[in-house]
């Protein structure tokens, strides 16, 4: 190795060590407690199991993310369902899932091929199960405003300006 190359490597090594030390120092100074994962389910284990199975059968994750998980092969710009139970109640969700045209309940700005399909064809018990399952998808209070912001911006395409009533 030539003298100039040694100098370059030595300089890079010094920068890497300095960056590592500064980063370690900064992390040591951060005393903000980690609030943890904001998502949880208030549904019973039976509802979670049966509802989760139905969600997989209906391929809901092809369009929506649930607990931050979605089908990586799809790029549908649909809203996340994380915390939907903190935004909508079971009755609203049942009515939405039962609607012949869900856009009549919640307008969509998405292209027709990406819009929510009707699940009115499903048996009533399956729609009730889905409504219970989704109503149980909650978020901690400290994260709720973020969920509202994400849903509002996804549905309207506008910047969120603070708390909005159901639109």
pLDDT > 90? residue 44: yes
pLDDT > 90? residue 36: no
- Encoding tokens for residue 70? 């979605």
Average pLDDT of the chain to the nearest whole number? 84
- Encoding tokens for residue 66? 């649930």
**What does the pLDDT look like over 69-108, one tens digit per residue?**
666 666 667 788 888 999 999 999 999 999 999 888 888 7
CA distance 9 to 1: 10
Sign of CA dihedral 102, 50, 47, 148: negative
Under the banding of pLDDT at 50, 70 and 90, the label for residue 128 is very high
Identify the pLDDT of residue 166.
46
pLDDT > 60? residue 50: yes
CA distance 156 to 158: 5
* pLDDT over 90 percentage in the chain: 37
Q: What is the mean pLDDT of residues 53-58?
A: 94
Q: What is the mean pLDDT of residues 130-155?
A: 87
pLDDT > 90? residue 49: yes
Q: What is the mean pLDDT of residues 2-15?
A: 86
CATH topology of domain 39-156: Cytochrome Bc1 Complex; Chain D, domain 2 (1.10.760)
**pTM listed for this prediction:** 0.70
Check: CB of residue 152 under 8 Å from CB of residue 164: yes
Check: CB of residue 129 under 8 Å from CB of residue 47: yes
pLDDT > 80? residue 154: no
């Amino acid at each position: 190795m030539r003298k100039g190359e040694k100098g370059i490597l030595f300089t890079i090594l010094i920068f890497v060590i300095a960056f590592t030390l500064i980063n370690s120092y900064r992390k040591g100074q951060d005393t903000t407690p980690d609030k943890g994962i904001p998502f949880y389910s208030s549904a019973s284990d039976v509802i979670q199991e049966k509802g989760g199975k139905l969600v997989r059968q209906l391929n809901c994750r092809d369009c929506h993310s649930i607990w931050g998980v979605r089908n990586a092969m799809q790029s549908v710009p649909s809203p996340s369902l994380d915390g939907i139970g903190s935004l909508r109640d079971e009755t609203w969700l049942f009515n939405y899932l039962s609607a012949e045209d869900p856009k009549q309940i919640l307008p969509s700005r998405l292209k027709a091929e990406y819009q929510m399909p009707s699940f009115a064809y499903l048996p009533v018990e399956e729609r009730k199960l889905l409504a219970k399952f989704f109503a149980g998808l909650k978020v901690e209070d400290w994260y709720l405003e973020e969920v509202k912001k994400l849903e509002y911006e996804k549905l309207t395409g506008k910047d969120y300006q603070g708390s909005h009533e159901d639109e």
